[in-house]
Chains A and B, each alone.
Chain A
């Protein structure tokens, strides 16, 4: 029985590299954050980051000759993995990196998982610092935060289409003027 089982919406705890990751249900993230702040003493939200796991481990395991996905020997980036990493429960992970201002600087990663189109409650009411952090993740990763007072693009232009940090966002997709391809 660990200390984190009382976190609202608790799913699981993982310890790795000296870090604690607590996965909670997507719908109860605001409750979980409030609990972490008030009961566990994690007074500060250091960082909020979303990760796109689309096609995670899609390159397969590299064999002697090639991978199932096909390896182009002239392209050093197409080789497969040595071992398949653990499968992920959903496409996006959303990690809240919390910090407690006390001796030893304990940190906690609250994590929830969501599919494309799922929304998650905003935690601006828990930490005002979440304002720009959530806007950034909305802008670059396309994650919608319910109840955010001003969910607009932050880093990209207001009329930008798409979310650049998603794995299916085309690379080099911007038309370049006066290029030889024209």
Chain B
């Protein structure tokens, strides 16, 4: 671990609204998500306004960018979101804690396992519930598989958008293996609802470790394949290097996190700097690049996939020695009793009935839990009034933060670069709009 981190204690004094943010900043004045067309150009007939999205395949969902073009140059831009707003936070207030666990996965539907984890961790922290070690390590394994899955989707789709169609098939080949692993463990390929408050929904099935091991063996070779296909590809390099620049100071001011922040040269990863689960007991490196361009964001994610594979390997090693250990806490007020007890034990039947109908009660309090999801800091703010339903749930969405940097990254770029930039920010619109 690095002893000191950059950008610490050298906070800048930013001037008030209306002035440039600070010397050298590329953040547009006043509103960071809007680039205004220069006054001299506005009078001419040269500027063409184009709606980029909301229904455009390279917006990764329903992002709308209103782009002012002077020829191929982007001279004005404003990002519009909200097309996928489905009121998850309001919905969760109407459900019991137990039922609400299904929702966070559908918010960030690519980094689902991590989003599920952050909500479950918040419940457990309010309940002050001890989680068995086996569950902790399995959660870590699932989250890292999910991180690889998410980065593979990023790599496949953003390369596809820049014309490298074959990347998409190779990435989705490995992604398929990960989804098969999820299916083996939880019965669902995505949105598994495998994490429960207190541990896991079920024990790890027989035959999981050999399958996971063969994936861990294959993944480094697959990464080599991707590097061979992309990293010496002149078209890929020219379309990504030096495009979509974001400086470290701008990234911090814009609240960036995850690979976007690390590609801008900020050495920051919550898994290392604020360890949760058992990340302090595994060896991994935090890749940091200084270019702040699309290429470096791609490099950070490539390196992270390699590191995540190593974490998965260490998790398997540890889990294989925990055969027969409990996978969920033994707290009958919160955790469903074992199925077989329902036929013989009156108390188990009552507990089962109470948890499913009324739900368990979570002590009153407010809490903010943050983890490092594939997209960055995924946070969950929860308020409980002591009843069986959350009073307020709010998600700090890393995609939401990332899209605020679109305008900063896109200044002075060409329309074709926009596709590379939006792809490199790796926003999931479900996460952005919630």
Contacts and interface: CB of A to CB of B under 8 A. Distances in A.
Given A99-B377, A107-B370, A149-B17, 13 more contacts: A16-B366, A43-B7, A47-B381, A76-B358, A85-B386, A95-B381, A101-B266, A105-B273, A127-B255, A131-B404, A150-B34, A155-B85, A155-B434
Interface string A58-83: 01000000000000000011010111
B400 A132 contact: yes
A109 B365 CA distance: 14
A165 B126 CA distance: 23
Interface residues of B, number: 68
Q: Which 8 A-B pairs have the closest CB atoms?
A: A129-B255, A105-B274, A85-B364, A47-B396, A155-B82, A155-B85, A149-B30, A128-B32
B404 A38 contact: no
B404 A132 contact: yes
A81 B7 contact: no
Nearest to A47: B396
15 contacts: A16-B367, A47-B381, A51-B394, A76-B358, A77-B388, A79-B387, A81-B361, A101-B266, A124-B30, A129-B254, A147-B17, A150-B30, A154-B81, A156-B82, A157-B82
A149 B403 CA distance: 18
Interface of B: 1, 3-5, 7-9, 11, 13-18, 21, 27, 30-34, 81-82, 85, 87, 89-90, 94, 125-126, 252-255, 266, 268, 270, 273-274, 357-359, 361, 364-368, 370, 377, 379, 381, 383, 385-389, 391-392, 394, 396, 400-401, 403-404, 433-434
A128 B27 contact: yes
A19 interface: yes
Interface in A110-137: 122, 124-129, 131-133, 136
Nearest to B126: A17
Contact of B81 (A76, A155, A171): A155
Given A37-B11, A79-B358, A46 B31 contact: no
B304 to A, nearest CB: 19
Contact of A46 (B13, B255, B434): B255
B73 to A, nearest CB: 24
B364 A77 contact: no
Contacts of A140: 89
A54 B359 CA distance: 23
A34 B314 CA distance: 43
Chain A facing B: main interface SS: loop
Contacts of B16: 125
Interface in A140-173: 140, 147, 149-150, 153-157, 164-165, 169, 171
